[in-house]
């Protein structure tokens, strides 16, 4: 059997497959079907310093080959997550990446300070797609200088490895990746949802503006992974439209060290365990002793 464990920031993950933040609830919800210990690593729903109630309805809309969501980052806050859910991941010996966000730079820093190092925590994943209230709603992740500054400041308050999760809504994502790298980030998660809107032709309204995910986002995400993994020497986690093992392989071959699966779980709740199993089969059939051997293989062309 091909080897699929992965070394990430000094921790060993069983396999390189994770859920995407915000698409596997608080983890326990999937238990009636399969357990979180199946994952290489569980990624938390986006957490904030205080509980956040999220957006009014509608929060989801269907598109051809994808969906738009406007959940608005509803979450119970860092404190309650660590009290009510973290012990469950400890018990199940499942590594965790903590996704967090803020609406001001101080809130980002506050979150990073609140999360104490623990051998089960692999990394913090900062969601840089939030609107910056002070700057009138412009996303934190859109300007290289802002990204540089916020990463640098968050790095000073935490010893836990830091991942920056970037938005694709930028002029040049490589430039943003380089800024994050120069500020000392330990890895990147690419990409967050793509800003999108819906028009209801019957009602002549725009019922929802939100983030696009699913297969429709895949080629955008693949390009980001491919270009950024050539530009910066830090681990990249690929996410966006991964529906099956072929999609996961494409991200690994494009240069991702690990992949995250989001929307696919809504269509088939067994997508993640299937991808893990089939990834192992693929390595076997193709005589790869280690998953490392296919990571970034397209770069050698």
Partner 1 sequence: MVDTEAQIIENKNIVLDYFLLKLKLAKTMGKIMPGQFIMLKIPGNEVFLRRPFSIYDYDKDILTVMYKVVGKGTEILSKTSKDNSAFVLGPLGNGFRVNKRDVYLTVAGGIGIAGIHFLIKTLKEKASVFFGCSSNIETTLLKDITHLNPMISTLDGSYGYKGNVVEMLTNYLETVENVDQELFICGPEGMLKSLKASINKSKISCQALVEERMACGLGLCFGCVKKTIDENEPYKRVCKEGPVFDLWEISL
Catalytic residues: 130
35 binds, among partner 1, ligand FMN, none (CB under 5 to 8 A by kind): none
User: Per rule CB under 8 A, is residue 29 in the interface with partner 1?
Assistant: yes
Pair 257, 235: CB distance under 8 Å: yes
Pair 256, 295: CB distance under 8 Å: yes
Interface mask toward ligand FMN for 9-48; x: CB under 6 A: -----------xxxx---------------------xx--
Nearer to partner 1, 79 or 268 (CB): 268
Sign of CA pseudo-dihedral 88, 91, 92, 95: positive
**Residue burial 95-119, b: 16+ Cβ < 10 Å; e: rest:** bbbbbbbbbebebbbbbbebbeeee
User: Per rule CB under 6 A, is residue 231 in the interface with ligand FMN?
Assistant: no
d(CA 123, CA 112): 11
CA terminus-to-terminus distance, the chain: 27
Judged by CB under 8 A, the residue of 69, 129, 167, 229 near partner 1 is 69
Judged by CB under 6 A, the residue of 38, 48, 94, 127 near ligand FMN is 127
Spell out where 214-257 has E strands: 236-239
Judged by CB under 8 A, the residue of 42, 237, 265, 275 near partner 1 is 265
In the three-class reduction of DSSP (H, G, I as helix; E, B as strand; rest coil), residue 80 is classed as helix
User: Per rule CB under 6 A, is residue 73 in the interface with ligand FMN?
Assistant: yes
Burial classification of residue 77, based on how many CB atoms lie within 10 Å of its CB (0-12 exposed, 13-18 middle, 19 or more buried): middle
85 binds, among ligand FMN, partner 1, none (CB under 5 to 8 A by kind): none
If binding means CB under 6 A, how many residues of this protein chain bind ligand FMN? 25
223 binds, among partner 1, ligand FMN, none (CB under 5 to 8 A by kind): none
According to DSSP, the residues that pair with 259 across neighbouring strands are 17, 238
Element (H, E) at 202: none
The DSSP call for residue 47 is B
Residues 145-204 that bind ligand FMN (CB under 6 A): 165, 192-193
Residues 256-275 that bind ligand FMN (CB under 6 A): 261-264
Tokens, residue 1: 């059997």
- Pick the stretch among 47-55, 92-100, 143-151, 166-174 that binds partner 1 (CB under 8 A): 47-55
Judged by CB under 6 A, the residue of 16, 161, 214, 255 near ligand FMN is 214
Minimum distance from CB of 261 to partner 1 (Å)? 12
User: Per rule CB under 8 A, is residue 74 in the interface with partner 1?
Assistant: yes
Residue for token digits 């089969």? 281
Residue for token digits 């943003």? 176
Residue from 127, 232, 130 nearest 173 by CA: 232
Residues of this chain that interact with partner 1 (CB under 8 A) are 22-25, 29-30, 32-33, 45, 51, 53-54, 56-67, 69, 71, 74, 214, 263, 265-270
Residues of this chain that interact with ligand FMN (CB under 6 A) are 20-23, 45-46, 69, 71, 73, 99, 127, 165, 192-193, 213-214, 217, 239-242, 261-264
């Amino acid at each position: 059997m091909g080897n699929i464990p992965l070394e990430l920031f000094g921790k060993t993950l069983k396999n390189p497959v994770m859920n995407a933040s915000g698409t596997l609830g608080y983890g326990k919800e999937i238990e009636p079907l399969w357990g979180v210990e199946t994952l290489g690593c569980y990624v938390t729903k986006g957490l904030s310093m205080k509980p956040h109630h999220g957006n009014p309805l509608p929060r989801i809309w269907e598109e051809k080959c994808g969906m738009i969501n406007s959940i608005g980052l509803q979450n119970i806050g860092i404190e309650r997550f660590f009290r009510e859910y973290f012990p469950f991941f400890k018990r199940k010996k499942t590594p965790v990446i903590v996704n967090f966000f803020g609406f001001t730079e101080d809130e980002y820093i506050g979150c990073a300070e609140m999360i104490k190092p623990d051998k089960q925590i692999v990394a913090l994943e900062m969601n840089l797609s939030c609107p910056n209230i002070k700057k009138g709603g412009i996303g934190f992740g859109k300007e290289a200088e802002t990204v540089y500054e916020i990463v640098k400041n968050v790095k000073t308050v935490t010893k836990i490895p830091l991942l920056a999760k970037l938005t694709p809504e930028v002029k040049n994502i490589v430039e943003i990746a380089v800024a994050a790298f120069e500020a000392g980030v330990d890895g990147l998660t690419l990409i967050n949802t793509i800003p999108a809107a819906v028009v209801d032709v019957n009602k002549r309204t725009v019922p929802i503006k939100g983030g696009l995910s699913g297969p429709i986002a895949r080629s955008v995400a693949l390009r980001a992974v491919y270009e950024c993994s050539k530009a910066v020497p830090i681990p990249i986690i690929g996410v966006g439209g991964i529906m099956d093992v072929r999609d996961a392989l494409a991200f690994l071959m494009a240069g991702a060290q690990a992949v995250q699966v989001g929307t696919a779980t809504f269509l088939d709740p067994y997508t993640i365990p299937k991808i893990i199993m089939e990834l192992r089969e693929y390595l076997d059939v193709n005589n790869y002793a280690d998953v490392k051997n296919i990571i970034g293989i397209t770069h050698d062309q």
